[in-house]
Amino acid sequence: MTDTTLADLALEVRAKNAGPFWLTLEAFMSDDAGYRVADALITPETVAALYHVEAGTLQIFRIPQLRVVKVSMPRPTPQGSLHDRDMHAGQHHIPLAELPVPRGRA
């Protein structure tokens, strides 16, 4: 049996540009129970560990009415720079989507 991930509970987990120096991760949850799980799991410490960034650089927006948790953070490299491997920041959602949900919380 595989472990449940955040993506299993979500309508969508995605990443996108938030300007050339920032990216945003978004977890759109399908119901209130899923939102409560995402709200508890998506912490500055968890995101910092997943993305190897300083927790103090993160901005987390919780929107319970829409069942969305958004995280904005500095891009690892500026958009379009020589070492940018994801121009639109569309692949950065994967670590968050694969975040395991502790048993009994799903």
pLDDT at 1 over 90: no
Where exactly are the structural domains of the chain?
6-76+89-97
| Whole-number Å distance between alpha carbons of 37 and 1 | 20
| Per-residue pLDDT tens over the stretch 25-68 | 999 999 999 999 999 999 999 999 999 999 999 999 999 999 99
| Exposure letters 70-100 (e unless 16+ CB within 10 A, then b) | bbbbebeeebeeeeeeeeebeebbebbbebe
Please state, rounded to an integer, the average pLDDT across all residues of the chain: 91
